Chains A and B, each alone.
Chain A
Amino acid sequence: MRRRHFLGLAAGLATLPMWSARAATGRVLCLGGSLTETVFALGAEAMLIGRDSTSTYPVAAEALPDVGYVRALSAEGVLAMAPDLILAEEDAGPPEVVDVLKASGVDWQTIDDDHTPASVVAKVIAVGAALGLTDKATALAAKIEAQLAEAATMAAAVPEDKRKRVLFILSAEGGKIMAAGAGSSAEGIIHLAGAENAAQGFGGYKALSDEAVLDAAPDLILMMDRAGDHAADNETLFALPALATSPAAEARAIVRMDGLYLLGFGPRTGQAALDLHRAIYG
């Protein structure tokens, strides 16, 4: 028994240098935007050789070769990158391709995620362990946890009757308001920031009728800060009949934040929750 333990330990020690060597020169492929972001946050971007099409933050990630949409991968395309380690979100697919990749001898690691604050932390730890950067990951996770805890404290300090009702508007194209409902990532971050989602009664992101928007009567509008088709300036927005009479329009209360920062549930989520809390409650 004892001898077996010793052998196991010896084998573990023998592989240790190999592991660290791989960590230093390893070719890592990231399948999933938040995973790529985490690798960058750990300062390990030099190991990255490729990404999927959802990995768009930070900007430097976009310079990496793109193996396509994470749920429609090509087995040969991925193998062509000759990765040693693949970090994948749970929904990477199709399953047949994943089977072939696993059979090819590549180290395939699935990192779970259920879009909760706890899983943000767990993800950082898991990515760190896979890259052999446990220390860095622990430090980063501690930082994120502290930010999340601070946000939670600040959120809890807001009295029940003072909680602002926030309407997240994905787009207001042509005066039609597309808002975030129950279970959306926008609702998640609104709750983390200690506010309430003004839009209720539907899941995901849906176009609301004018009357539903009137009924929601938000205290504040939250939008993504970006130009192009989804952009709508404040004047146009508050002039919409559905919003003109809302408390948000009277107070001109609108917050714009970067989309991935706000909704990505990556390593910046703690910071985003704090920022949003400050933006809402001043």
Chain B
Amino acid sequence: MSITADTFPVPSRRELRAARLRIGLILLFALAAVVSLGSGASGASAVAVLKSLLTGDSADPRDALVLWEIRLPRFLLGALIGAALAVGGAVMQGLFRNPLADPGLVGVGAGAALGAVGMIVLGGMMPLVVQQFAGRHLVALAACFGGWVFTLVLYRVATRAGRTSVATMLLAGIALGALAGAFTGVMVFVADEKQLRDLTFWSLGSLAGASWLKVWTAGPMIIVALAVAPLLAKGLNALALGEAAAHHMGVPVQRLKRLAVLTVALATGASVAVAGAIGFIGIVVPHLLRLANGPDHRTLLLDAALLGVALLVIADAISRSIVAPAELPLGIITAVAGAPVFLWILIRQNSVVDL
């Protein structure tokens, strides 16, 4: 450690770059919020509604409804889910030390899909009492439940004598995914045409059903997970050197794994339940940021949350404007827009990517 750095804390070039990136992401986040609240098929003016709020004049009731009951919950839900998916992806890639890891790897995706598809197709067989009590939320509940059950099973399978093998989890995840895929296939086979269309829309993801209720139910789970994630940062950094090295550095590796898996399952399960399966955010966002600013999880996790929010919210704004008054499923936008950008960045890189 040099004396100058101790006495005059001059920020290094790396820190400057990180700060610039963070500021850029915050601006992007603000831009996304403006775009999301200000755009939509109805042409309602968010500015006019906000102005009327300040001046006390009464706004056009339809515009006010569009802003408070449609765009605002939708923006908040999109923000929560974007952050959950991006941070979940970053944590998973760190934990598995594998660039292909995404939140789906802990079984949440496959389990949630099986739960949702099963409920869409077989929901009519549920007792009438249950249908009346929870009718419209059954698919979301089944998705959440399915995701968590799969994660739990996967964690149990991969844990021997108090030690979880990441490699076993990866392999068991693939096996469980195949199993869930097969059962989902059976459901698709017995589904009628209407249910098939529901399945398609669910598997492409959408925020069309965003409501305050969904914000209040999914929000707390995602926020808890997002609050826990930064606690994992140092551990994940150490884990990049290997499990043994991390252990010798004093990182409680087993506790880290358990916490990481639970966090991701919580955040992703809640996201998938309210918005269906939205792909690509969990993979693209952390990689973009690693390419820009290196793999340090202490900055990566917060950056990922910001970029995840911005991308998902902007993608959602596109999804509801591009074919208005109808809307395109969100998953299509994230993949169509995300994949080429990702490829372009990979090609532009001078070196190949290392995690």
A80 near B208: Cβ-Cβ < 8 Å: no
Measured between beta carbons, the chain B residues less than 8 angstroms from A155 are none
The minimal Cβ–Cβ distance linking B191 to chain A, given in whole angstroms, is 8
B246 CB within 8 Å of chain A: no
The minimal Cβ–Cβ distance linking A203 to chain B, given in whole angstroms, is 8
The minimal Cβ–Cβ distance linking B151 to chain A, given in whole angstroms, is 26
A61 CB within 8 Å of chain B: no
A167 to B181, CA, bound (A): 32
A96 CB within 8 Å of chain B: yes
A77 near B211: Cβ-Cβ < 8 Å: no
Q: Beyond A97-B208, A205-B193, is A68–B323 a contact (Cβ under 8 Å)?
A: yes
- Chain A, residue nearest B325 (CB): A77
A71 near B41: Cβ-Cβ < 8 Å: no
Interface 1/0 per residue, B135-171 and A, CB below 8 Å: 0100000000000000000000000000000000000
B197 CB within 8 Å of chain A: yes
Measured between beta carbons, the chain A residues less than 8 angstroms from B326 are 53, 66-69, 74, 77
Interface 9-mer from A98-106, A244-252, A266-274: A98-106
The minimal Cβ–Cβ distance linking A69 to chain B, given in whole angstroms, is 6
B62 near A76: Cβ-Cβ < 8 Å: no
Measured between beta carbons, the chain A residues less than 8 angstroms from B197 are 69, 71
B15 CB within 8 Å of chain A: no
Measured between beta carbons, the chain B residues less than 8 angstroms from A218 are none
CB proximity to A under 8 Å, residues B316-331: 320, 323-327, 329
Interface 9-mer from B63-71, B105-113, B291-299: B63-71
A225 CB within 8 Å of chain B: no
Measured between beta carbons, the chain A residues less than 8 angstroms from B71 are 76
A10 CB within 8 Å of chain B: no
Interface 1/0 per residue, B174-210 and A, CB below 8 Å: 0000000000000000001110011001000010111
A80 near B61: Cβ-Cβ < 8 Å: no
Measured between beta carbons, the chain B residues less than 8 angstroms from A99 are 211
A32 to B245, CA, bound (A): 62
Q: Beyond A50-B325, A66-B326, A71-B198, is A80–B41 a contact (Cβ under 8 Å)?
A: yes
B98 CB within 8 Å of chain A: no
- Chain B, residue nearest A50 (CB): B325
Interface centre among B40, B208, B323 (most CB of A within 10 A): B208
Q: Beyond A76-B42, A100-B65, is A68–B327 a contact (Cβ under 8 Å)?
A: yes
Beyond A69-B201, A75-B69, A96-B211: 11 further Cβ-contacts under 8 Å?
A66-B325, A67-B326, A68-B325, A73-B208, A74-B41, A76-B71, A77-B41, A77-B327, A79-B41, A104-B62, A204-B193
Question: What are 11 A-B pairs at a CB distance below 8 A?
Answer: A67-B325, A71-B198, A75-B208, A76-B320, A77-B41, A77-B327, A79-B42, A93-B209, A96-B209, A99-B211, A105-B62
B interface list, Cβ under 8 A from A: 40-44, 61-62, 65-66, 69-71, 136, 192-194, 197-198, 201, 206, 208-211, 213-214, 320, 323-327, 329
